[in-house]
Amino acid sequence: MFGIRYAKASPSTYLIQYRNGQPVREGTGLAFFYFAPSASLVSIPMESVDAPFMFREVSSDFQEVTVQGQVTYRVAEPKLLASLMNFTLKANGSEYVSEDPTKLPQRVVNAVQVQLRAALQGQKLQDLLRESEGLVQGVREGLRRPDGLPSLGLELVSLAILAIKPTPDTARALEATVREQILKEADDALYRRRNAAIEQERAVKENELNTEIAVEAKKRQIRETQLEAERAVLEKRLQIQAEEMRGRIAHEKENEALTELRGANARREADARAYALDALVQTVRAVDPKVLQALSLGSASAGTLIAAAFQDLAQNAGKIGELNISPDLLQQLTATKS
């Protein structure tokens, strides 16, 4: 009525009232009456806004990729934004007079695309697919620079890259390359396991051979010890035999000396007997042998006398005609001999 209207803004809306081109009140959550014919209201929402995006770009190796993500922003300087874009409300107080508020998300997406294009042109496709976080960090820093979102009075809340996809043909080629790489790594792992098994088997064989060598060395040591003991015993035995031989040699030398002494004594005795016999022979040389025989038979035994009688008979066998020897005589001779 009479051009008087009531305006009320939410706590997340920054409201500015202009009169004659000059702001008369501004702030969030304002509520007031105003005269519509002479007043202009600028309403800037302060809540955060999510702006999804998806566009195609080219990497440094000339591979086309599709980047999909979302940027979240909010108004940090509403007066700066109001000076750059038209957020003026119509006379009804509920609609904007221009389409600038609806174009703001697209301007933010365009700023993201500019930063993202600069980042994509400096990286290869495989690097982008492996390390998307570096890409996000580069774009985020570019948007926060003074010539980025702050130049529009906006503040970056978050930036997320949801997907980076190459073309289907490139994806198949990469999948084939990765598949071959995976198969190669599987083959390498198999070869490594085989080599490890061979190495372990070689180590086991080597340990067995080392054990056998150690056992043989111990056996040789035992045998050498036994031989040393046997040699010591043999040396001891040889020493004993040498001592026995020296004893025998000394004994034989003593026997030799004794034999020589006995021989000398025997020679002296023989010389003495020979001298006595020679003296006896010299004495009885002139005596008749029969007399000597008779003298020797005088002290002889009966058997000796009978033997001498038979000897005389044998010497005079040509003179004897017949000789009878009775059994009694032979028995007496035999008994006498026994």
Assigned token pair, 14: 């920054």
pLDDT in tens, 167-189: 777 767 767 777 788 888 888 88
pLDDT greater than 60 at residue 48: yes
Write down the pLDDT at residue 56: 86
pLDDT greater than 80 at residue 304: no
pLDDT greater than 70 at residue 1: no
Residues in contact with 186: Cβ distance below 8 Å, sequence separation at least 6, in sequence order: none
Assigned token pair, 122: 């400096």
Residues constituting the chain: 338
Contacts 24+ apart (CB under 8 A), 317-324: none
Write down the pLDDT at residue 288: 64
Assigned token pair, 115: 């930063």
Residue pair 28/13 in contact by the 8 Å Cβ criterion: yes
Lateral strand order in the sheet of 13-19:
22-28, 13-19, 39-45
pLDDT greater than 60 at residue 336: no
Q: Which residue has the higher pLDDT, 286 or 211?
A: 211
Write down the pLDDT at residue 290: 64
pLDDT greater than 60 at residue 337: no
Q: Which residue has the higher pLDDT, 190 or 174?
A: 190
| Measured CA distances, 167 to 10, 58, 66, 314 (Å) | 46, 11, 8, 162
Q: Which residue has the higher pLDDT, 28 or 175?
A: 28
Give the bridge partners for 58, in sequence order.
64
pLDDT in tens, 50-59: 999 998 888 7
pLDDT in tens, 279-291: 777 776 666 666 6
pLDDT band at 164 (very low <50, low <70, confident <90, very high): confident
How much of the chain exceeds pLDDT 70, in percent? 83
Q: Rounded to whole angstroms, how far apart are CA atoms 6 and 33?
A: 4
Query: Residue 42 belongs to what H/E stretch?
Result: strand 39-45
Assigned token pair, 282: 């010299």
Residue pair 154/74 in contact by the 8 Å Cβ criterion: yes
pLDDT greater than 90 at residue 61: no
Write down the pLDDT at residue 320: 67
pLDDT greater than 80 at residue 108: yes
pLDDT band at 319 (very low <50, low <70, confident <90, very high): low
Residues in contact with 167: Cβ distance below 8 Å, sequence separation at least 6, in sequence order: 63, 64, 65
Mean pLDDT value of segment 37-48: 89
Write down the pLDDT at residue 71: 94
pLDDT band at 103 (very low <50, low <70, confident <90, very high): very high
**DSSP-assigned states of every residue in 136-190:** HHHHHHHHHSTTSGGGGTEEEEEEEEEEEEE-HHHHHHHHHHHHHHHHHHHHHHH
Q: Which residue has the higher pLDDT, 42 or 119?
A: 42
- What distance, in Å, lies between the first and last C-alpha atoms of the chain? 199
Residues in contact with 305: Cβ distance below 8 Å, sequence separation at least 6, in sequence order: 297
pLDDT greater than 80 at residue 321: no
Residue in this structure with the two tokens 């098994």, named with its chain if needed: 197
pLDDT greater than 70 at residue 334: no
